[in-house]
């Protein structure tokens, strides 16, 4: 256990999107300040952060100045260039640590880590060329899905292979990037465990939420998830194993498939997670505060759930429903202050609270 | 009803203390930005606001630039210099309006307004000199309390008169400022109604909270307050009358004394109020968001209470209890990021949630 950061300390956050924005607000609630590092202009987190650096991840001078101004470094996305991390890690603690980033930045490394830990995943194979794809399809079978090993999110960098004839086109979609073939999983539904681990090794998990996606983008998360008591406990224990194995500090999103044969790990994200936004209105301490507590070396808070919640993402034109959403009873709005509405862009979310 | 402000609009906030800080955060949650105007350096709200102007209320150039950069102006305290308001009101809407400020800036004007409205207050008299004080003490009797008409808060600018012999010293304490003598009220407890009114005239009140002060400073607010159903309804109706009479827009704190003869109005504050901080963890929409919704011309939100809460202010050295407070179950911390701990200074608060 390291010393907890004092009042007024500065949390450095790599990335200035909505997750960085909500992390900034949580830090302020704890009397801590935030400094955002973000290459893009006018980032959503910039409206609420104490300080913003607009610079590229290749700008070593900016990275050094950023590190010098903060007490600890965390991030809102996992695809941070390795060179930037190499520079920063010598200057300030990075939490969650490099091992978690290395593992989750690459689908092949991640799946190998999970199976080495004795956890179940979809069947997978390393794809380097047409030949390895043909071989993998023979073992895994079609339908299957080809994904780039790195830099995929919200369904990007993925191609479905419904029959072996789709293989060449799918491979071409990867544009030469290293890829992984994943077998389709016969799952009934997807759930997430939002898990936190402190610098002292304590682990705290939120009640699992059930996710519904559309066009590769999360639409809703509902708590409680449709799970039996045994599955619920399995989900939480499994998440705890992952965090402990990585000596993890902070909040992690663990996506699981529920299948007739048990739980499979779909993917892990070493950060606060869209499927944990319900905690803002279903718990006294939400995932953003829990993450800040962890990376600041503070004790984790009470993450017990006190209400049923449905979180709905507001995507693109969904924002035009604002007048109606504002008058719904027991509905909390969380808008990201993004200047421009674009199709598929996450503009905000609502949490609908149902009390027993 | 005026047009609601669009996403990305800017709320100008006069005052950069903890109330301005929590208003800024609420604005961000609704996709709005905030611009703080504050004479003091390094204000708590500055860590979370999109923009801060550090300038005096006499700086006309700064006031004009501030107004030009915002869409509506609100404030976190009522003692804003009149000259600044005169300048600003021609440039942007000020919400709550001038009438509410004029009324609440002066204890004599406020009490006269309330009694004209048919509401009960402590007995009071205008004090201009020793002679008027002697005369008033004969009618009101001792013990009584002498208060400056303007610029009092947290027990400052007040002197108790236990017997008529205390009168000269109490008057000297006023340092020549216009004053008001208030009779002591035989009350059992003090409650607050946090009431909101929108641009369309709709009114929404939070459940009354019960306040405990120590040394003139609020220590705790507890909901539900100890009130019968009739008193609870009276309190809410009475608050509604005040807001309607002032054509009020925004949140107001209404402090009431519970006496054997009914409710007396102690004072009104035309802003979010310390005794409404419990709403952050007891309601889906808290007082800060309700205020921003109102001044932005948006519909008011659902302010129904879903839990029992005790709010405790953290004052001065209370902050040393932080390690214990962080591990209390179902307890939410709200810290203000103030650089320096001082005796009597509000450093933060906790909301302890008790669920049924």
**A28·B337 Cβ contact <8 A:** yes
C-alpha gyration radius of chain B: 20
- Residue B276 phi/psi, 5-degree rounding, is -105, 5
- Is it the case that residue B1 has pLDDT exceeding 60? no
Q: Residue B2: its pLDDT value, please?
A: 67
Of A30, A32, A337, the CB nearest to B8: A337
Indicate the range of A154-158, A175-179, B53-57, B336-340 predicted with least confidence. Answer: A154-158
CA atoms within 13 A on the CB side of A20: 30
CB contact under 8 A, B348 and A302: no
Per-residue pLDDT tens for A299-354? Answer: 999 999 999 999 999 999 999 999 999 999 999 999 999 978 999 999 999 999 99
Using an 8 Å CB-CB cutoff, list chain A residues near B19: none
Q: What is the mean pLDDT of chain A?
A: 95
Residues with Cβ < 8 Å from B30, sequence gap 6 or more?
A333, A335, B289, B292, B293, B296, B298
List C-alpha distances in Å: B92 to A278, B65, B157. 37, 12, 33
Q: DSSP class of residue B195?
A: E
**Probe site for chain B from A6, A7, A50 (most B CB atoms < 10 A):** A7
So what's the pLDDT on residue B14? 98
**Shortest alpha-carbon distance between residue A159 and chain B (Å):** 35
Quote the ipTM score. Answer: 0.92
Give the per-residue pLDDT at A157: 83
- Burial-class residue B165 by CB neighbours within 10 Å (0-12, 13-18, 19+): exposed
Q: A47-56 as b/e, with b when 16 or more CB fall inside 10 Å?
A: bbbbbbbbbe
Selection from A147, A78, A96 nearest residue A251 by Cα:
A96
Cβ neighbourhood burial of B172 (10 Å; 0-12, 13-18, 19+)? exposed
- On whether the CB atoms of residues B66 and B53 are closer than 8 A, the answer is yes
Residue A194 tokens, joined: 């939002």
Region B238-265: mean pLDDT is 97
- The 10s digit of each residue's pLDDT in B98-144 is 999 999 999 999 999 999 999 999 999 999 999 999 999 999 998 99
Question: Residue B29: its chain A contacts at CB < 8 A?
Answer: 25, 333-335
Q: What's the gap in Å between the CA of A24 and the closest CA on chain B?
A: 8
- pLDDT tens per residue, range A18-29: 999 999 999 999
SS3 assignment for B48-117: CCCEEEECCCCCHHHHHHHHHHCCEEEECCCCCCHHHHHHHHCCCCECCCHHHHHHHCCHHHHHHHHHHC
What are the pLDDT digits (tens) for A76-102? Answer: 999 899 999 999 999 999 999 999 999
Do residues B219 and B231 make contact, with C-beta atoms less than 8 angstroms apart? no
Q: Which residues of A touch B30 (CB under 8 A)?
A: 333, 335
Asked whether the beta carbons of residue A331 and residue B31 sit closer than 8 angstroms, the reply is no
Please report which confidence band the pLDDT of residue A2 belongs to, taking 50, 70 and 90 as the band edges.
low
Give first-to-last CA distance, chain A, whole Å: 39
pLDDT of residue A339: 79
Count of CB pairs separated by less than 8 Å, A with B? 110
Say if residues A62 and A41 touch (Cβ distance below 8 Å). Answer: no
Strand-strand pairing, A10-14 and A33-38: parallel
Chain position carrying tokens 């609704």: B30
- Report cis status (omega within 30 of 0) of the bond before A61: no
Q: Which of A177, A175, A211, A179 is nearest to A193 (CA)?
A: A211
Q: Label residue A151 by pLDDT band (50, 70, 90).
A: confident
Instruction: Report the candidate in B201, B205, B220 with the shortest Cα–Cα distance to residue B299.
Output: B201
Angle, CA A226 vertex, CA A221 and CA A231 arms, to 5°: 115
Average pLDDT over residues B196-202: 97
Q: Please, which residues have CB within 8 angstroms of residue A228's CB and are 6 or more apart in sequence? A: none
Q: Residue A125 and residue B9: Cα distance in Å, rounded? A: 50
Out of B31, B47, B281, closest to residue A284 by CB: B281
Least confident of A144-148, A152-156, B39-43: A152-156
Q: Inter-chain contact A306–B355, Cβ cutoff 8 Å? A: yes
Overall size of chain B counted in residues: 356
Pull the structure tokens for residue B84.
Answer: 């600044």
CB–CB of B337 and A31 under 8 A?
yes
pLDDT at B284 over 90: yes
- Residue whose C-alpha is closest to residue B151's, from B113, B99, B82, B105: B105
- % of chain B beyond a pLDDT of 90: 93
Write the DSSP symbol of residue B155: T
Give residue-wise pLDDT tens across range A267-293.
999 999 999 999 999 999 999 999 999
The span from the CA of A349 to the CA of A241, in Å, is: 30
- Inspect the interface and report whether the beta carbons of B7 and A335 lie closer than 8 Å: yes
Distance from CA of A8 to the nearest CA of B (A): 6
The answer to whether the CB atoms of A331 and B284 lie below 8 A apart is yes
Place of tokens 């027993």: A356
Look at residue B152 and tell me whether its pLDDT is greater than 90: no
Whether A277 has its CB under 8 Å from any CB of chain B: the answer is: no
Structure confidence by residue, pLDDT tens digits, B315-338: 999 999 999 999 999 999 999 999
Q: Which residues of B touch A299 (CB under 8 A)?
A: 323, 326-327
pLDDT at A1 over 60: no
């Amino acid at each position: 256990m390291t010393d907890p950061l004092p009042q007024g300390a500065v949390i450095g956050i790599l990335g200035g999107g909505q997750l960085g924005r909500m992390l900034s607000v949580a830090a302020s609630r704890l009397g801590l300040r935030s400094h955002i590092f973000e290459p893009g202009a006018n980032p959503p987190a910039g409206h609420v952060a104490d300080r913003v650096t607009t610079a590229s991840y290749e700008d070593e001078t900016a990275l050094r100045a950023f590190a010098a101004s903060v007490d600890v470094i965390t991030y809102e996305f996992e695809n941070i260039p390795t060179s930037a991390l190499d520079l920063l890690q010598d200057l300030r603690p990075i939490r969650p640590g490099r091992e978690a980033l290395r593992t989750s930045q690459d689908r092949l490394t991640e799946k190998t880590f999970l199976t080495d830990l004795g956890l179940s995943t979809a069947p997978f194979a390393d794809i380097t060329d047409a030949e390895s794809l043909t071989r993998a399809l023979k073992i895994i079978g079609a339908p299957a899905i080809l994904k780039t090993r790195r830099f995929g999110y919200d369904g990007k960098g993925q191609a479905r292979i419904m029959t072996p004839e789709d293989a060449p086109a799918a491979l071409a979609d990867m544009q030469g990037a290293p890829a992984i073939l994943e077998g389709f999983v016969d799952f009934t539904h997807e759930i997430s465990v939002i898990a936190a681990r402190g610098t002292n090794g304590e682990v705290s998990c939120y009640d699992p939420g059930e996710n519904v996606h559309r066009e590769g983008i999360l639409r809703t998360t509902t708590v409680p998830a449709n799970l039996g008591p045994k599955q619920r406990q399995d989900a939480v224990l499994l998440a705890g194993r992952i965090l402990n194995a990585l000596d993890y500090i902070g909040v992690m999103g663990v996506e699981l498939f529920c299948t007739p044969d048990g739980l499979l790990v779909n993917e892990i994200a070493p950060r606060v997670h869209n499927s944990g936004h319900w905690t803002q209105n279903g718990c006294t301490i939400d995932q953003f505060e829990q993450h800040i507590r962890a990376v600041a070396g503070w004790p984790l808070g009470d993450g017990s759930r006190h209400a049923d919640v449905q979180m709905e993402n507001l995507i693109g034109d969904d924002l035009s429903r604002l007048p109606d959403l504002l008058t719904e009873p027991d509905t909390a709005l969380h808008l990201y202050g993004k200047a421009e509405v674009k199709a598929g862009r996450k503009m905000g979310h609502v949490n609908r609270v149902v009390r027993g």
